[in-house]
Amino acid sequence: MKMSNNLLQRLLICAGSAVVALALTGCVARQEAPTYTFGQTAHPGNPYERAETIGHVPAVVEVPSQPVSSQTTPNTLDMRTELVRIQKRAPAAASVGQTIENEIVLTPLTHIGNVVLTHYLSANSTYVRSEPPAAVSGKQLVWTYDQLKQGDVQTIKVWLKPTAEGDMTSCSTISALPYGCVTTIVGRPALTIEKTGPATAQVGESVTYSIVVRNTGTSLAQKVEVTDKVPSGFTHESGRQELVFEAGDLKPGEAKQASVTLQAQQRGSFTNVAVANSANAGSVTANAVTLVVMPGLKVVKTGPPQQFLGKNANYKITVSNIGDTTLNNVRVTDQAPANAAIADAPGALVSGSQATWTVGSLDAGKSQSFDIALRASAAGVTVNRAVATADGGLNDSSEAETLWRGFAAVLVEMVDDPDPLLIGETTTYTLRVTNQGTAPDKNIKVVIKFPSQIIPVSVGGITEGVIQGNQVNFSVLPSIGPKQVATWTVRAKATVVGDARIQAEVTTELLKSQPVTEVEATQVY
């Protein structure tokens, strides 16, 4: 069915329900189903006098099989054009004041647009509601659709209420235009950029970054160019501060990758920025942050500046990680000097004159300490050296210097032989001075004092002596070396009965403030 403008086609569809009977031109009839020319002038008494002739459309009309007063089967109407099919359903009979339902099913037979479906209510009916909601204007209900695709069925339900006896006829018109489409796929390019690199690196190390630029959009990204900015703490072999890579055009989903190798020059945290620009997809930025660290190893050895021979000199060795990274395979070695020996080294593996401590891993900022005791065999200065090592060729050393001194320790002994004595008999007193220390003592002076019971007769020994009354003074012995013994003797005679106490006094350079006194008892009968 074609209109004069070749596009617009209309349907006038009538479906009636009455309290007593239905019989309306262009609508569902009560007794018989004549063939109607759709769009002809409305039946007398029909309120829709504005219907116009737009063509001949056959209508499928179902005729009730029983009187209206008892009819229960709904009245239905099924009509179609080249564009659309309309199916209507309404009750065959109803009572005044009863809410009844009309149903309209719209089935596009092709793609249609500018669709306007208008439902006209009779004078003896009132509108209750509809699904979907209609635009209501007086006795007209209107539904509009911009586009309906072929087979996109639309079901409309209208609830009405009869207000008076007689025929209650509701009719519908529809206008629609066929539409056709051509499709152009419209896409949008979208760039992403990803930059990856090591989180940490050491000063002097080569650092390689990877840059991936990708078109995640739906159309071609044109003239893509990637610029990598070399951060201040790094250098590139070219000497340039900006490196440019041409990625060209990227299809949707396509990606390209570039690598950049830089040299770390100084400690600190540095951000390497890469920017991708394009002719039609804007620009995107990505960065990678690298912490440039410097490993550091430090060892310190402390000990006494001087010590006496025969004693232990106690040293402390402290190894520290003064860098930014964990040190691995850390070891500390102490080598005793030639004139000293290791007396003690807790926790160390001692082999001959060398002690070794295995630390293992040492975190940044951490320290560990060790003790070692040395004993020198001769006076003089010793230089004790500790060395710390770690993986990566790291090492450090520290020395401690100690002056070893001897210490004189004088032992004084005096004995008489024989003892006891008879008056007139003589005995010999022997005085021995021993340097038990490790250094010489000087200016050894000996004085022996006798009581009245015994008088000195003669002297002898390492130095000359002079008898002065009951006292013997020996000349000064210039020096007595370590472990040396000096001997003096006095022969004396018993003269008076009693308990005689002979006293020897020894002074040295070391003992000059307070002499050492030795007393020997002799009995005279």
pLDDT tens readout for residues 85-98: 999 999 999 999 99
Please check whether residue 320 lies inside any domain of the structure.
yes
Q: What confidence category does residue 28 fall into, taking pLDDT thresholds of 50, 70 and 90?
A: very low
Domain of 97, CATH number, reads 2.60.40.1170
> pLDDT grade, residue 314 (50/70/90)?
very high
In whole angstroms, give the CA distance from residue 147 to residue 97: 37
Among candidate residues 405, 435, 465, the one where a domain is terminated: 405
Mean pLDDT for all residues in the chain: 86
Q: Are residues 40 and 58 in the same domain?
A: yes
Q: How far apart are CA 276 and CA 278, in angstroms?
A: 7
Neighbours of 48 (CB within 10 A): 19
Q: What is the pLDDT of residue 22?
A: 23
Task: Tell me the mean pLDDT in the region 500-511.
Answer: 93
Distances in Å between the Cα of 396 and the Cα atoms of 41, 293, 393 are 116, 19, 10
The residues that bridge with 441 in the sheet, in sequence order, are 480
The answer to whether 85 touches 107, Cβ cutoff 8 Å, is yes
- Are 137 and 31 contained in the same domain? yes
Q: Please indicate, yes or no, whether residues 167 and 138 belong to a single structural domain of this protein.
A: yes
Least confident of 70-84, 100-114, 505-519: 70-84
The span from the CA of 62 to the CA of 74, in Å, is 9
Whether 1 is in a domain gets the answer no
375-399 per-position pLDDT tens digit: 998 888 999 999 999 998 899 999 9
Domain edge (last residue) among 260, 293, 326: 293
Under the banding of pLDDT at 50, 70 and 90, the label for residue 71 is low
Q: Are residues 419 and 466 in the same domain?
A: yes
Beta-bridged to residue 170, according to DSSP, are 15
Question: Does residue 184 sit within a domain?
Answer: no
Is residue 4 one of the residues assigned to a domain? no
The answer to whether residue 117 is domain-embedded is yes
Q: What's the average model confidence in pLDDT over 287-310?
A: 93
Residue type, 225: E
Flag whether pLDDT at 26 surpasses 70. Answer: no
Least Cα distance to 171 among 75, 34, 47, 84 occurs for: 47
Q: What one-character-per-residue DSSP string does 187-223 give?
A: ----EEEEEE--SEEETT-EEEEEEEEEE-SSS-EEE
Residue 315 within any structural domain of the chain:
yes
> What was the pLDDT predicted at 36?
27
CA angle 172, 178, 183 (to 5 degrees): 140
Q: Is the pLDDT of residue 508 over 90?
A: yes
pLDDT for the residue numbered 327: 94
pLDDT value at 505 more than 70: yes
Of the three residues 384, 405, 426, the one that is the final residue of a domain is 405
pLDDT bin (cut points 50, 70, 90) of residue 57 is: very low
Quote the CA–CA distance of 295 and 238 in Å, as a whole number. Answer: 28
Same domain, 214 and 329: no
Instruction: Tokens 């975190």: give the residue.
Output: 363
DSSP code string of 486-510: EEEEEEEEE-S-EEEEEEEEEE-SS
- Its domain, for residue 485, covers 410-524
Query: Total structural domains in the chain?
Result: 4
What is the Cα Rg of the chain in Å? Answer: 64
CATH code, domain with 222: 2.60.40.10
Tens digits of residue pLDDT in 141-165:
999 999 999 999 999 999 999 999 9
120 CB-near residues (< 8 Å, 6+ apart): 47, 48, 139, 140, 170, 171, 172, 173
pLDDT class of 458 with cuts at 50, 70, 90 = very high
- The answer to whether residue 186 sits within a structural domain is no
**Phi and psi for 43 in degrees, rounded to 5?**
-60, 145
- For residue 277, being part of any structural domain is answered with yes
Do residues 222 and 370 both lie within one domain?
no
In this structure, are 204 and 151 located in the same domain?
Answer: no
- Give the per-residue pLDDT at 250: 96
Distance CA 229, CA 173 (A): 71
Are residue 301 and residue 284 in the same domain, yes or no? no
Are both 321 and 445 inside the same structural domain? no
Which pLDDT does position 45 carry in this prediction? 36
Q: Which of 297, 304, 303 is nearest to 368 (CA)?
A: 297
Same domain, 339 and 466: no
pLDDT class for 49, splitting at 50, 70, 90?
A: very low
Q: What is the DSSP string of 43-112?
A: PTT-S-TT--------EEEPPPSS-GGG--SPEEEEEE-SSEEEEEEE-SB--TT--EEEEEEEEESS-E
Which pLDDT score, from 0 to 100, does residue 58 have? 35
Strand pairing report for 465-468 and 471-474: antiparallel
The stretch 495-505 carries a mean pLDDT of 95
Note the pLDDT of residue 128.
96
Same-domain pairing of 380 and 415: no
| Together in a domain, 141 and 202 | no
Inform me whether the pLDDT recorded for 13 exceeds 50: no
CA angle 220, 225, 231 (to 5 degrees): 145
Lowest mean pLDDT among 280-284, 321-325, 459-463, 498-502: 321-325
What is the β-pairing status of strands 140-148 and 84-90? Answer: unpaired
For the sheet with 426-435, list strands across it.
410-417, 426-435, 485-494, 454-461
Q: What is the pLDDT of residues 201-260, one digit of tens each?
A: 989 899 999 999 999 999 999 999 999 999 999 999 999 999 999 999 999 999 999 999
Q: What is the structure's pLDDT at 377?
A: 87
Is residue 108 predicted with pLDDT exceeding 60?
Answer: yes
- pLDDT of 264 strictly over 70: yes
Q: Mean pLDDT across the stretch 333-338?
A: 94
pLDDT tens by residue, 401-440:
999 988 888 899 999 999 999 999 999 999 999 999 888 9
